[in-house]
Amino acid sequence: MYYLIETNYVGPNRTQDQYIDASKIEICVSPAVTNSSGEKLTRGWCGTTNDWAVYAHGEYATIEEARAAINEIFGEVRDSDANGDSFEPDDEDVVQTFKSGKYAPMSSQNTADWAYEWIQSDIDADTTDEHITDLVAEYEAEANRFGGTLDSDLEDFMKQRRQELIDELEDKI
């Protein structure tokens, strides 16, 4: 039998780089165990320990059924990093590890660093909100080409840059 086990970081530091893409979905050969009673569980919340919540998502006869269930439950997932390397299991009972989403999420700071040069050249005091929306889509498409997805703060970074330029112009007057 195969079991789907989801482990999510639910602590206060979710925006820190080490937790941005830390949650995982695993196909295991043994069921999840609750954190308090040690009871085996095939469906439901197993408990939260040290800011990590564990959920059981079913029992499956074949690995193919388990993979199909992952797609049904979680939608698009990744089984490898941006370099194409499979995610390494943390436990010998883990057959395969997945991460949610088609692309690896970037933190707010990594997004700012990644987009900095483009923002400096693409944004000026006259840049409209509509153009910023278009630029966000362009930047996102570029990040997707490399296996990433940008933080939602990108639009705010662009608007902040525009405001800085507006303020500079006003200071010159």
Residue 173 pLDDT greater than 80, yes or no? no
pLDDT tens by residue, 149-162: 999 999 999 999 99
Q: Which whole number is the average pLDDT over 124-130?
A: 94
Q: Is the four-CA dihedral 120, 126, 132, 135 of positive or negative sign?
A: negative
Which residues share a beta bridge with 78?
A: 99
What is the value of pTM for the model shown? 0.79
pLDDT tens by residue, 28-70: 999 999 998 999 999 999 999 999 999 999 999 999 999 999 9
Q: Parse the chain into domains and list their residue ranges.
A: 2-102, 105-172
Give CA–CA dist 44/57, Å, rounded: 7
C-alpha distances in angstroms, 94 versus 12, 71, 90, 107, 124?
A: 27, 18, 7, 27, 50
31 contacts 3 by C-beta, under 8 angstroms: yes
